[in-house]
Amino acid sequence: MINKNINKCKPDSRVGGGLAGNVDEIDVEKQQRRHTLRRLMIYLLISFGIPYVIIFIYIANVGWTIENDWYGVVPAVAMLCPAVAHVLTRLITHEGFTDSYFAMKIKGNVRYFVIGLCFPVIVGILLFLGAVLFLTPQGTLEASLQKIDYGVFLSTTIYVVSVSIASVLLGFGEEFGWRGYMMPKLEQLMPGPAAVIVGGTIWGLWHAPLIACGHNFGTGYAGYPWVGIGLMCISCIAIGFYLTALTKATHSVLPASLAHIAINNVCGAVSGTLLGYVEISDERLIEINSTLDYPLIMMIVISVLSVLTGVAVTLLRSRNKEYRPCKNSQSPLKNGII
């Protein structure tokens, strides 16, 4: 007789459960990545769409030029659009505002705010010295240095710092979008270094219509506007690394916002005010405006210092025992519909 008590052949529930669990985890991870990618695409569509419409309305009425009184308004409005895109994306996807890097976290982070302000000042000094050394024709360097009113130099520096603090909202407009939303999403989809490269390239391309109008690089250089757009992408990768490091160190976009607007103001002050003290002939000025000499100096100085400062901030952050990585513990499947 066949023993009825013989155990029937059944798959080991522990093994089966383990395999099923692994499959479920893989499926959940894939769904999370899809949700993250969809949210990122919605954000990019809005952050590019709104400013591009504004810029192309300007171009349709004025042309591809920055030589217009209305041009100053265009970049200012465009800078606010990434923050608007951040808010709209979270509202559309119902993901909430957890880990949005919005908090004002000054305690324990004063050093990073100081870095955010000191970095642009150092950049400005080096840009000015670079302009004096490389842009003046031979024989006028001593005259240029003697002509400098260092009182004006100091007052310009103080003015730039003050204006940067007062206009931090414009820097926040970009940083709340790029560093507060785009970069965390990219880092969920790819390794950190790849996210910095991809994020910097996206940020650089966001500037493309402005670069085509002559922003930063002018229009008379060889390879216009594609070379200028490429250079902008490279500099945005370097600056983005630094600003991302600041944001991750403080869990706030405010130091990066301060640093961002200060960099913009420093470049404007050096180009518009301090270079008035450099002895440059009209012929040399025309030559400068038709080449990438000075923009290249600016890009190299800012990019190299951005990378070095980003590394320093990262090392400083890693030594900070109070630092805790900011992780989103909520699954996108349980937090939002898209």
Helical H segments across the chain, by residue range: 13-62, 73-93, 110-135, 141-147, 150-166, 168-177, 183-189, 192-206, 208-213, 226-250, 254-272, 282-289, 293-319
191: left (phi > 0), else alpha (psi -120 to 50), else beta?
A: beta
Task: Give me the pLDDT at residue 198, please.
Answer: 98
Is it the case that residue 331 has pLDDT exceeding 70? no
**Higher confidence at residue 166 or residue 59?**
59
Nearest CA among 265, 304, 296 for reference residue 135: 296
Residue 99, amino acid:
D
Is it the case that residue 158 has pLDDT exceeding 70? yes
Task: Give me the pLDDT at residue 183, please.
Answer: 97
Percent of the chain with pLDDT over 90: 40
Task: Give me the pLDDT at residue 8, please.
Answer: 45
Is it the case that residue 284 has pLDDT exceeding 80? no
Mean pLDDT of the chain: 80
Task: Give me the pLDDT at residue 142, please.
Answer: 60
Task: Give me the pLDDT at residue 124, please.
Answer: 77
Name the least confident of 52-66, 238-252, 298-312: 298-312
Residue 182, token pair as written in the block: 């785009």
Q: What is the pTM of this model?
A: 0.81
Contact yes or no for 178/199 (Cβ under 8 A): yes
Where does the pLDDT of residue 22 fall: very low under 50, low under 70, confident under 90, or very high at 90 and above? low
Is it the case that residue 5 has pLDDT exceeding 60? no
Dihedral sign for Cα atoms in the order 216, 217, 218, 223:
negative
What average pLDDT score do residues 5-9 get? 46
